Chains A and B, each alone.
Chain A
Amino acid sequence: MLSAGACFAAAHAQVPALEVSVAKHDGQPLSGAVITVERESAALGPAAPVKAIMDQVRLAFTPDVLVIPVHSTVQFPNSDAVSHQVYSFSSARQFQLPLYRGKPYPPVQFDQPGVITLGCNIHDNMIAYVIVTAAPFFGRTDTRGQWRAADVPDGRYRVRVWHPLLNEPREVEGTVEVNGTRGTLELKLSKALRPAPLGSRPHTWDY
């Protein structure tokens, strides 16, 4: 409701906006997809860094996907009773947080754009992603597969889509023109997503 209200206000004020919608190969909306938007002509700088939190609750990272601007920091508290040991061997940011409970470590800073896959060295099924972007506009699609940005300066923009279950042969992307009016872009996947992780098994399994 809030974003719809904001959009209405934006349209009313005649501020250019951008709207991206992503559909799966069968036409159903793809929610939770990461959208990054960069201007092709006269590149805009990255968004301001943020301080984000990725918690660990009942042997799962929450949220399981985090998209942040470069130079942002992420705190990885452990709200479980058992210890976790978080690691990344992704080239964009390698780090390790030795066995811990609670919040003993300072936040981890992410300075290089890329997809960082996180795991726990104790609980092999735990997986999450931090997407670090240098794009000025970014976000995740809602349950209707839509994402909107307001106050988008005029120009031609390249829109890229990422999702942990993408199974596409090539990058999902497109370009859109914002010229004093709302720019819209519809993207559709060519193949079915990979199956989502099974999340509902009792935690006393997988001994």
Chain B
Amino acid sequence: MRMAAQRLASCAVFLLCTSAIAPRGLAADWELSLDLRAVSSDGRTSFLDNGLGKLRFDDGDDGIQLGRLRAAWNQPLGETFSAHVEASTWDDDDKNPIDLTEAYLEYRPYPRAGWRTRVRLGAFYPPMSLESRAIGWETPYTIAPSAISSWIGEEIRTIGIEAQVDWLGTRLGHSFDFQLTGAVFGWNDPAGTMLAMHGFAMHDRQTTLFGRVGALQTDLEMAKKELFHEIDDRPGFYVGAQARYLDRAILNVLHYDNRADPAAEAVEIRDFAWKTRFDAAALRIETANDWTVLVQAMQGDTEINPYMLLTWEFDSQSALVAKRWGRHMLAARYDWFEIEFEDDPAASGSETGNAWAIAYSFDPGDHWRVALEWLRVESDVPARIEFLAEPAFATESKLELSVRYMLSGYF
């Protein structure tokens, strides 16, 4: 009894001590941001309106648009666990007025003897894009990210568990750090649907966990899909590695395989399990005089087997150069992308394209960010002839001004 009472007393003292710190240290951090756009676009009917245009805002969207309304919440849970939730509203076509892009529990034990471990459980992006480094998985360089990052935001989400191990060489007096990542996930079997339906696109609209890409239609076959479903009960995986030279250069590689059964079908969402595999590599170099060079490459394929095996092979590369002068930044990026359906470049489902983006941004501090982007996409999409009776080749361009205001705090 006495032992128990002593334990209770020591527990009470411990709780009192921790609660004295908790109100300040363990408070939840929050962020709220509103991003409004002024758009001038000559784009074809957007993929978001079930067209085959490559831009988020097409020629019917000129004027003031909602870029993104975002709320983020980070709740420490004890000393080494925390919960992260990202919620956004993009447009009124989505299934839910506000929805989640990421929601996960993170375990961050203290580094020991030069080694650091991180574990994430929930829904989040794989560590792949060195471009989407800013809060909300946005790119700080441009408004629309590269074709590769646009696709990741559209179709890829890890809903599962991921572990990372870092060797922190730079904290041991060396010039390099190394990282290995592995994840097992489910609920990403439809990944690949969008590449097959509308190909690559250049946009900053991330698909929400319970949302959809494209407008609702009575004909579900033609409507765009919901992407985060488990269809075949087979988990997928990815493995990745990263090498960092001080804080100047990062090389990241990733192999992704959702291990879907291409013959499996989900009647309720009218979609297949798309067996999607890709390899991705990215290199980012930053210099002391504020230049950034970022190159990315991705190559993979996706398959379904409704009555015979159908294969889409895809690859894309991009190169970005950015220069900062204090709070001002200029960035230019070139993208190239290609999809080949059944080894036939002229088939519906195949495409080639390239894009140029030039962006200026002004980041004066904690609250405001202003960005102006000119983007031009050239694409040759044979499906435009078959499904839309339009020429296969299109040049689309847009000028977009983004004004973002952000508030943050803790409670």
Binding site for B on A (CB under 8 A): 81-83, 85, 87, 89, 96, 98-102, 104, 117, 119, 121-122, 125, 127, 194-198, 200, 202, 204-207
Contacts and interface: CB of A to CB of B under 8 A. Distances in A.
B62 interface: no
B3 interface: no
Contacts of B29: 82-83
Contacts of B288: 195-196, 198
Contact of A104 (B25, B324, B408): B25
A119 B137 contact: no
Nearest to B245: A195
B367 to A, nearest CB: 10
The interface residues of chain A, by DSSP majority, are classed as loop
Nearest to A164: B173
B14 interface: no
Given A81-B408, A127-B171, A89 B134 contact: no
19 contacts: A82-B29, A83-B29, A89-B110, A99-B25, A100-B24, A100-B25, A119-B171, A194-B175, A194-B246, A195-B246, A197-B247, A200-B324, A202-B140, A202-B363, A204-B135, A204-B406, A205-B133, A205-B134, A207-B132
Given A119-B171, A198-B288, A205-B133, A100 B114 contact: no
Given A89-B110, A98-B79, A194-B175, 19 more contacts: A81-B409, A83-B26, A83-B76, A87-B111, A89-B111, A98-B21, A99-B76, A100-B25, A101-B410, A119-B171, A122-B108, A198-B247, A202-B363, A204-B134, A204-B135, A204-B140, A205-B134, A207-B133, A207-B135
Nearest to A94: B112
Chain B interface residue bracket vs A: 35 or more
B24 A101 contact: yes
Interface-central residue, A89, A104, A119, A197, by most chain B CB under 10 Å: A89
Interface string B235-266: 00000000000111000000000000000000
Top 6 closest A-B pairs, CB basis?
A99-B25, A100-B25, A101-B24, A98-B79, A87-B110, A104-B21
B270 to A, nearest CB: 34
Contact of B410 (A82, A119, A122, A207): A82
B80 to A, nearest CB: 8
Contacts of A83: 24-27, 29, 76, 410
Contacts of A82: 29, 410
A104 B23 CA distance: 11
B113 interface: yes
B137 A102 contact: no
B24 A89 contact: no
Contacts of A98: 21, 25, 79
A207 B137 contact: yes
Interface string B396-411: 0000000000101110
Interface string B13-55: 0000000110011110100000000000000000000000000
Contacts of A127: 170-171
Contacts of B113: 89
Contact of A117 (B26, B108, B133, B171): B171
Contacts of B25: 83, 98-101, 104
B93 interface: no
Given A100-B21, A127-B171, A121 B110 contact: yes
Contacts of A87: 110-111
